[in-house]
Amino acid sequence: MSLGEVIARAGSALVGSERARHLSAEAADALDWACAELRRTLHGSSAPEFEEALASLTRAQDAIGEMCSTLALAETAIHAYLRHLGVSDTDAPVTTVAPESRSARAVGTPGAGPSRKPGRDTPAAADQGVAADTERYWKPDGLPETIPVEWGAGISNRKGTGIRWHDPLNPRGSGVRIDKGDPDSAWPSQRVDHVIVRYNGKVIGRDGNPIEGSIKVYFENAHIPFSEWSKWSTWHTP
């Protein structure tokens, strides 16, 4: 096998792992919602069947967390291997999967796709098979280099237009979401491009400290203008 083929295969493995990790993060979001619904149902009552279902969902959450951590370790190893070969992993030629339907993604059916370069500057993350909705995928100009490269290219927001990343070692507790501003929003903080930062389970405010309460109550502090956040020293500290 030639060096070019080795590099291409390593790049393809990196993209595949990123895709699996981001889809796992979406599954974790869905499980969070399901657990919350069951907890509300169980509030003040006893239902053995629901309690067993909640226990099963919690075990599934733990399994997904472990899988994301394992995938992140694999990606780190691939990054190191590509650097050892003297090639930037964002320049490695790869053959990626084409965007497919939600049902096809659910069963992991790959499609044939054109050659692309992985990395944050890819025109559409869906070309790497990591964006759930290409119409919602958007990233602002001037995206800083503070997002860890191990987090991948980012995926589309579940609601609204924008892009988000999850920490592969803590997918439910740490991450960054960038929302495109809506000039017609009733909330001034949402009229400009803004960022929501979560660090170890806490929402970080504009001053770099965790907010005391929910985003709905402290939205002005939780919605960090992108123009401010892009100048922070790290993704979670000013």
What is the secondary structure of 90-123 as a DSSP string?
A: GG--EE-PPP--HHHHHHT------EE--STT-S
Same domain, 149 and 105: no
pTM recorded for the entire structure:
0.51
pLDDT value of position 44: 67
Same domain, 98 and 154: no
Interatomic CA distance for residues 4 and 16, integer angstroms: 18
Q: Which domain holds residue 236?
A: 132-238
Residue 127 lies in a domain: no
Same domain, 105 and 186: no
Local structure of 76: helix, strand or coil? helix
What do you get for the CA distance between the two ends of the chain, in Å? 47
Residue 122 lies in a domain: no
Domain count, the chain: 2
Same domain, 61 and 90: yes
pLDDT value of position 114: 33
Same domain, 98 and 145: no
Same domain, 137 and 84: no
Give pLDDT tens digits along the chain (238 positions).
Answer: 777 777 778 777 877 777 787 777 778 777 777 877 777 777 767 777 777 888 888 888 778 777 877 777 777 777 777 777 776 545 555 444 333 333 333 333 333 333 333 333 333 333 333 334 455 678 888 999 999 988 887 887 877 788 888 888 887 789 999 999 999 888 888 899 999 999 998 999 999 999 988 787 888 899 999 999 999 999 999 9
* Position 20, amino acid: A
Residue 118 lies in a domain: no
